[in-house]
Structure 1
Amino acid sequence: MTPKKSPVHMISNRNLILKITLFILMTSIIFILLSSVLLKHKALDDLAEDDALKTSELIFETMNTRMQEGWAKDDLTKIINRLEFIREDLKVKSYRSPKVEEILGVHQADKLIVENDLLIQKAMAGEKQFQIQEDGSIRYLYPMKVSAECITCHYNTQIGDVNGVLDISYPPSQIKISLDSMTFYFIIFFIITMLIFFYIFFLIIDIKMVKPIVTLTKQISEVSNGKDFNKEVFLKTNISEMKLLQVSFNKLLKTINKYYNQLLHSIYFHKLTALPNIIKLEQDLAKQSLNSLVIINIDDFKTINYFYGTKVGDEIIKKLAKLLLQATSNAGVLYKLHGDEFAILLDKNIEYDYWEKLIDEVKRYKFLYDESTIRVTISIGIAYDEKEKIIDKVTATVRQAINENKSIKVFDESLLLEDVHTSHIQWTKNIEVALENNQIVPFFQPIKDAKTDEIIKYETLARLEKNGEIFTPDMFIDISKKSKQYDEFTRAMIRNSFEYFQDKENISFSINFSIDDIQNHKTTEVLFEYLDKFDIGDRFIVELLETEEFEDFDIINNFIQKLKTYKVKIAIDDFGSGYSNFAYIGNLQIDFLKLDSSLIENIHTNTDSYKVVKNINSFAHDMGLETIAEKVHCEEIEVLLKKLGVDYLQGYHIGKPKDSIL
């Protein structure tokens, strides 16, 4: 099972470009936002650290100056307290190093803080410490190192040693606000810039690429829906690829238009003559409610093709088309129909004399070929002011003209009943349906023993059933041969007859076989298959149709020899009808001679028929054969045949064919 494909979501070029633009814009904005946050934090850290360093150095230098002047710890504390007012929420503390404590003593509260603060300890080791605390405030620990001036008082130290740590902290509100403002304005500026940039970018793409593509698409759709292949596409663009696309599409349109016109011409016009054909005729007929039509048929055109070849036939068609086109230009539109027929859709009803003159003109025209002159005659069928099925009506009319050997015939409603061709087509369909639905049914005509008056044999006769009505072979048997349905017809009779008689003990039955049946391998194969299947060969009779001359004696003899292995009896049907050959009677293993009905039906009134039947009957008995008389239609004939010693009697007087036996 083929997996079901999910529907494809379609999107226009403009929407696609817009989505791509918005995606790039949003990606850029997100990127700049993330970058701004990172940059802001980095800038805040650097600025805060630098600010803290400068503040610490200022405080240190102030304290250092005062210490050189001999100020004590309490004095310095006061200065520190005063310095705290130079910046809002500034807090300053100082802690002594161990060497300073050796000289100036230990401050227990400070010492306890130092012991519990890792950052102060690191600063005591000479490392500057910068920290942004959880509440956002800044803490900076500045190591106060010994300079040359400090040695005077701090005699136990060296230049570069840490005398103490200056611990300052304050909120970076001003820096943060400045950075936040700067970042905010930068982002706004960036977004506005990007919006303008991408809007301009979208407009350029839309104008230069999307709009030409949309225009091209619309024009392609218009051409496709309107089927106007003459309309060219024009794009307002200076992009080389788009111009190339425009040129290529217009070339494609021209190519399509060329082949489209050729296709239309081939559909509506006859290739050989360039005349409008039957399809065009049907279209033109539909434009009017009433039409008058003429069909011209070339008489015996098949013979011309046979003797001169189809190339000569084609040349005659072309020359005749030119002749008719000139001769009938004032009558109407000339069309070329199938095979050997032309048609004229009349502009007006034209007198009978006009068509007689046309026939004479064609008859006088010399079609020259290889130093030979070919004469052509035509038959014409005409129908005036018809509403419907005018082609069928005129076709039937011209066929009837040909059958009646007339040059011109005008349509009459009675012609529809006489149209043999239409009848043949219908019967071909009837036979086909009957074969498909097993409606080929056997009827049985009784054959009476002339000595005992018992019915011991039946001849199976073919019938065709249609809608409950029974049709005899004279209605369809010849048509079945022409339509190549006859062989299957015979095989159906074999199957149905054997199936019917399989359980009819002591009753014999016969089926007619022609030379064609014997020579048809499939038919004889079915016959022997059913002889094997039902094993009733001793009750079966094959009636060979003697009306057909036995040209291939070996084929017939081999067929009879094989039948004899099944104990089948052989009868010659219609003996005495015209092809009777007494010579082969002794060479074939014949069991019965069926006397032709033409000899029997008048035997009681015609002495010649009486003598012929008497002699044939005597000959048959001398050869050890039995005789069967057909068409016994009255008591008088039955009595007469019994006196002549005919063995079996068959005819309406004995019994009519029925769909079951007596």
Structure 2
Amino acid sequence: MAGDTDIPRNPRSGEPRQDAFAAEPLDCAAIMQSAGEAAYEWRMDTDSLTWGAGAAALLDLRDTASITTGRGFANLLDPGNARTRFDAIVHSAGADQGAGVPYQVQYALRSGPRSPKLWIEDTGRWFAGADGKPHLAHGVIRVINDRHEREQRLAFLSRFDALTGEINRWHLTEQLAHVLQEAAQAQTSCGFLLVAVDNLGRVNEAYGYDVADEVISVIAKRLRSRTRAIDTLGRFSGNKFGIILTNCAPEEIGAAAERFLAIMRDDVVMTTAGPVSVTGTIGGVTVPRHAANIEEVLARAQETLDRAKEKRPGSFLAYRPNPEREAQRRANIRATDKIVTALNERRILLAYEPVVDAQTRDLVFHECLLRIRRVDGSLVPAREIVPVAERLGLARLLDQRVLELAIAEMAAHPQLHASLNVSASSTMDPDWWSRLEALLRLYDTVATRLIVEITETTAIHDIDNARGFVRRVKDFGARIAIDDFGAGYTSFRNLRQLGVDMIKIDGAFVQNLTRSEDDRTFVRTMLDLARGLKLKTVAEWVQDEQSAAILAAWGCDYLQGEHIGLARLDWYGTRHDKSASRPDQARA
């Protein structure tokens, strides 16, 4: 190539020497200026301040003549600065051991009285003189307006709600802890109100989320207008505000709550979509009389608010101690621990109750019933477990375990046909569905022998969801039964839409069949309805032969109950074993 002969080369190898392409010396001042930085040196004994290139432009000054001393530079400092370069150096806790002491500080400058703030990050190192005190400092400054704005925004959001400008839940709780501590020490009283904007979900649906946000913002301003200077208002959650009433006697809390309710309901909220009318509901707690710590304050305020909504929306309700409620709460805690422990220790069992043909009394299938084995070996029946588990949100965990046990047993015994109950929470639980699909794929002969039972109340609560549940189960090849049929009074139309295979008549109508004309009429009507829809029927709680004969004569397909056979921890045979109903059989 042209010019190659001008490149210095190694005489032995003929290759270019390593220093042949050596770069020109770096222009550090130009690089710093390009990066938006400026260097300085401050001799503190003479107060002389020397600046590198680009400092004037960086600081929006005509030149650096006014900042050639530390005192001159101090004239640009904004009065609101909490800390400056001088503070970082002179008040440093470090000592110079010969290599200097690093510092970094942020502060604001103003190049003129009406000039905007320039936020500066000042990073440097100071060196001590003979007396050990700061003598010389040098460093670099840069403008960090954008970064400072982001940091301030994040700091604001960590303590305040972006929509309303009021403190957020975390900071409200922090303030509540402080007020609670002061009240306990001074032996005074204060209050905490949990304020909910009623029916905000309907506002979302009718007008959109933007309008709902406008409503929340206006309500916050109204609540703020009715709080005293010593009180604290904060946004607790989506539609809820918390108000700390400092130094407030118990009898004054109700009056304060009524002021807040009035300001919420008396005037409509003007929004971009037009006027919106809203009301509020309030639950209040007197502290420390009725709550000794933050957890109790928040729990009791929420509990009282929930009861106020149930009793009369748009009203105020004050917390009152209730020994029965507290006892129930403690019982719930114990029950939760027992159920979770039983799950973890694999003490969940199945009992099998036979269902027989009403005409021949031959065994058709077994219903799998939940049992928990106590540590002492005794058994807890389903009627003592399921209601508690559903109330505490543990039913879906039990459902998954029952599903696993039932399908495993059916896979091990190809002649076993069985049904199992599913709670309302599990019908929409993706974990239950994924477990069902996985097990039926693993044991592909089980589905046609499986019946899944859902209660009638679950079915009529949301017909569309129930219909989807039925369809998905039947797509796997299993059948669907409605349990406790008659308790929810499902309409003919809904029953037809569901597409189930079987109904199980609620035992409450069957157990008194021989003594109640109303029950006989009701059961016979249901059997006729099912026959018209070509659905199989099971009568539950059959307790005597006379009832069994009546049901068979009316065309009931299957019978279940104490007269037919008790639930046992083992399943038995392909035909019904009548000995199961003998008193000497172990009842599970």
Q: Does 1:391 align with 2:293?
A: no
Looking at structure 2, the residues matched to 657 and 523 of structure 1 have their Cα atoms a distance apart, in angstroms, of 26
Report how far residue 344 of structure 1 moved.
2.0
Match of 2:366 in 1: 458
Report how far residue 292 of structure 1 moved.
2.6
Report how far residue 388 of structure 1 moved.
0.8
The SS at the match of 1:349 is coil
Report how far residue 368 of structure 1 moved.
0.7
The SS at the match of 2:165 is coil
- Quick one: structure 1 residues 616 and 463, their matched pair in 2 at CA, closer, same or farther if it must change by over 3 Å? same
> Residues 24-52 of structure 1, C-alpha deviation per residue, up to 9 Å, x if partnerless?
xxxxxxxxxxxxxxxxxxxxxxxxxxxxx
Q: Structure 2: give runs of 5+ residues left out of the alignment.
A: 1-42, 48-69, 71-84, 95-100, 109-121, 130-134, 185-189, 572-579, 581-588
Which entry has the higher C-alpha Rg, 1 or 2?
Answer: 1
Q: Does 1:266 align with 2:157?
A: yes
1:632-647 maps to which residues of 2 (within 5 A)? 632-633=542-543, 637-638=547-548, 640-641=550-551, 646=556
Q: Does 1:278 align with 2:169?
A: yes
Looking at structure 1, the residues matched to 199 and 375 of structure 2 have their Cα atoms a distance apart, in angstroms, of 39
User: 1:396, 1:419 within 8 Å by CA — same for their partners in 2?
Assistant: no
Pick one of 298, 308, 328 that aligns with 1:401. 308
Report how far residue 651 of structure 1 moved.
2.5
Q: Does 1:650 align with 2:560?
A: yes
Match of 1:417 in 2: 325
TM-score relative to the length of structure 2: 0.56
- Quick one: structure 1 residues 588 and 412, their matched pair in 2 at CA, closer, same or farther if it must change by over 3 Å? closer
Looking at structure 2, the residues matched to 504 and 511 of structure 1 have their Cα atoms a distance apart, in angstroms, of 16
Looking at structure 2, the residues matched to 621 and 375 of structure 1 have their Cα atoms a distance apart, in angstroms, of 51
Report how far residue 299 of structure 1 moved.
1.3
Looking at structure 1, the residues matched to 206 and 332 of structure 2 have their Cα atoms a distance apart, in angstroms, of 28
Q: Does 1:308 align with 2:185?
A: no
1:282-297 maps to which residues of 2 (within 5 A)? 282-287=173-178, 288=181, 290=184, 291-297=190-196
Report how far residue 606 of structure 1 moved.
2.7
Q: Does 1:510 align with 2:419?
A: yes
Match of 2:507 in 1: 597
Q: Which amino acid aligns with 2:511?
A: E
Match of 1:373 in 2: 275
Q: Does 1:318 align with 2:318?
A: no
Pick one of 350, 356, 365 that aligns with 1:442. 350
Q: Which amino acid aligns with 2:418?
A: F
The SS at the match of 1:412 is coil
> Residues 326-368 of structure 1, C-alpha deviation per residue, up to 9 Å, x if partnerless?
2112562222222122222222225223322331222112311
TM-score relative to the length of structure 1: 0.51
The SS at the match of 2:244 is strand
Report how far residue 262 of structure 1 moved.
4.9
Q: Which amino acid aligns with 2:407?
A: F
User: 2:193, 2:282 within 8 Å by CA — same for their partners in 1?
Assistant: yes
Aligned-pair identity (%): 21
User: 2:102, 2:126 within 8 Å by CA — same for their partners in 1?
Assistant: no
1:225-236 maps to which residues of 2 (within 5 A)? none
Q: Which amino acid aligns with 1:399?
A: D
Q: Does 1:474 align with 2:387?
A: yes
Q: Structure 1: give runs of 5+ residues left out of the alignment.
A: 1-204
Pick one of 141, 144, 165 that aligns with 1:248. 141
The SS at the match of 2:285 is strand
> Residues 490-544 of structure 1, C-alpha deviation per residue, up to 9 Å, x if partnerless?
5543321132355568654223479996998636524533543xx4678655557
Report how far residue 613 of structure 1 moved.
4.2
User: 2:440, 2:446 within 8 Å by CA — same for their partners in 1?
Assistant: no
Report how far residue 255 of structure 1 moved.
9.3
The SS at the match of 2:141 is helix
Q: Which amino acid aligns with 1:304?
A: V
Looking at structure 1, the residues matched to 428 and 255 of structure 2 have their Cα atoms a distance apart, in angstroms, of 55
Q: Does 1:499 align with 2:418?
A: no
User: 1:442, 1:496 within 8 Å by CA — same for their partners in 2?
Assistant: yes
User: 1:275, 1:334 within 8 Å by CA — same for their partners in 2?
Assistant: yes
The SS at the match of 2:158 is helix
Q: Which amino acid aligns with 1:265?
A: F
Looking at structure 1, the residues matched to 522 and 319 of structure 2 have their Cα atoms a distance apart, in angstroms, of 51
Looking at structure 2, the residues matched to 216 and 519 of structure 1 have their Cα atoms a distance apart, in angstroms, of 58
Report how far residue 408 of structure 1 moved.
0.9
User: 1:400, 1:415 within 8 Å by CA — same for their partners in 2?
Assistant: no
Looking at structure 2, the residues matched to 622 and 235 of structure 1 have their Cα atoms a distance apart, in angstroms, of 96
Pick one of 339, 362, 370 that aligns with 2:238. 339
> Residues 135-164 of structure 1, C-alpha deviation per residue, up to 9 Å, x if partnerless?
xxxxxxxxxxxxxxxxxxxxxxxxxxxxxx
Match of 2:539 in 1: 629
> Residues 55-96 of structure 1, C-alpha deviation per residue, up to 9 Å, x if partnerless?
xxxxxxxxxxxxxxxxxxxxxxxxxxxxxxxxxxxxxxxxxx
Report how far residue 396 of structure 1 moved.
2.0
User: 2:172, 2:233 within 8 Å by CA — same for their partners in 1?
Assistant: no
Looking at structure 2, the residues matched to 472 and 537 of structure 1 have their Cα atoms a distance apart, in angstroms, of 27
The SS at the match of 1:286 is helix
- Quick one: structure 1 residues 314 and 630, their matched pair in 2 at CA, closer, same or farther if it must change by over 3 Å? same
> Residues 465-495 of structure 1, C-alpha deviation per residue, up to 9 Å, x if partnerless?
8989665333344875xx9x84x76554332
Match of 1:329 in 2: 228
User: 1:512, 1:543 within 8 Å by CA — same for their partners in 2?
Assistant: yes
Looking at structure 1, the residues matched to 208 and 341 of structure 2 have their Cα atoms a distance apart, in angstroms, of 38
Looking at structure 1, the residues matched to 196 and 278 of structure 2 have their Cα atoms a distance apart, in angstroms, of 10
Report how far residue 372 of structure 1 moved.
2.2
User: 1:359, 1:377 within 8 Å by CA — same for their partners in 2?
Assistant: yes
Q: Which amino acid aligns with 1:460?
A: C
User: 1:495, 1:530 within 8 Å by CA — same for their partners in 2?
Assistant: no
1:53-68 maps to which residues of 2 (within 5 A)? none
User: 2:160, 2:167 within 8 Å by CA — same for their partners in 1?
Assistant: yes
Looking at structure 2, the residues matched to 475 and 361 of structure 1 have their Cα atoms a distance apart, in angstroms, of 41
Q: Does 1:522 align with 2:427?
A: no
The SS at the match of 2:293 is coil
Report how far residue 558 of structure 1 moved.
9.4
> Residues 402-456 of structure 1, C-alpha deviation per residue, up to 9 Å, x if partnerless?
2222511112232993899999999999988887776664343333566676767
1:554-633 maps to which residues of 2 (within 5 A)? 563=477, 573=483, 578-579=489-490, 594-611=504-521, 613-614=523-524, 627-633=537-543
User: 1:448, 1:648 within 8 Å by CA — same for their partners in 2?
Assistant: yes
The SS at the match of 1:337 is strand
Looking at structure 2, the residues matched to 285 and 300 of structure 1 have their Cα atoms a distance apart, in angstroms, of 27
Match of 1:363 in 2: 265
- Quick one: structure 1 residues 236 and 365, their matched pair in 2 at CA, closer, same or farther if it must change by over 3 Å? farther
- Quick one: structure 1 residues 262 and 430, their matched pair in 2 at CA, closer, same or farther if it must change by over 3 Å? farther
- Quick one: structure 1 residues 569 and 244, their matched pair in 2 at CA, closer, same or farther if it must change by over 3 Å? closer
Report how far residue 382 of structure 1 moved.
1.6
- Quick one: structure 1 residues 243 and 474, their matched pair in 2 at CA, closer, same or farther if it must change by over 3 Å? same
Q: Which amino acid aligns with 2:510?
A: I
User: 2:353, 2:568 within 8 Å by CA — same for their partners in 1?
Assistant: yes
Q: Which amino acid aligns with 1:414?
A: N
The SS at the match of 2:317 is strand
